Amino acid sequence: MGQLICSGATLMCTFGMAPSTLVAIPEGTPVLTGTPAATINDSVPLANIPPFGMCISVANPSVAAATAAALGVLVPMPCIPVVTAPWAPGSPFVLINEIPALDNTSQCVCAWGGIITVTSPGQVEVSV
């Protein structure tokens, strides 16, 4: 079983130039180590998945246009994630409000070809 993910997890996109931080929506979700647990539906661009700095995918129209204007020299442009499907596969064992929990094996895909993965689960150890 994978490690469950919560708000504050570190994300990376294969075409992004910087990490990003997952924002799980806390409505009715359990709390893991003080932060809301994430589900596979926490995949909304900008609301759940902030930008990854600059984008280097030539499938991204702004990168393609800037690269064409620079006579073929790759020109990174600001990242605006375009995620059109939930995270997959999600936890096969843990459901949150009847939705699979997000775990560290889950990935989602940006429309510009980037694979978004979890690099750190966002859980911190709490001593009592």
69 lies in some domain: no
CATH number of the domain enclosing 125 = 2.60.200
Q: Does 83 score more than 60 pLDDT?
A: yes
Rounded to two decimals, the pTM is 0.90
Query: How many CB atoms neighbour CB 84 within 10 A?
Result: 10
Report the pLDDT value the prediction gives residue 23, as an integer from 0 to 100. 94
Please, what is the average pLDDT of the chain?
91
Report the pLDDT value the prediction gives residue 30, as an integer from 0 to 100. 65
Query: Do 24 and 37 touch, CB atoms closer than 8 A?
Result: yes
Q: Does 6 score more than 70 pLDDT?
A: yes
Q: Does 112 score more than 90 pLDDT?
A: yes
65 lies in some domain: no
72 lies in some domain: no
Q: Which of 37, 3, 13 is nearest to 23 (CA)?
A: 37
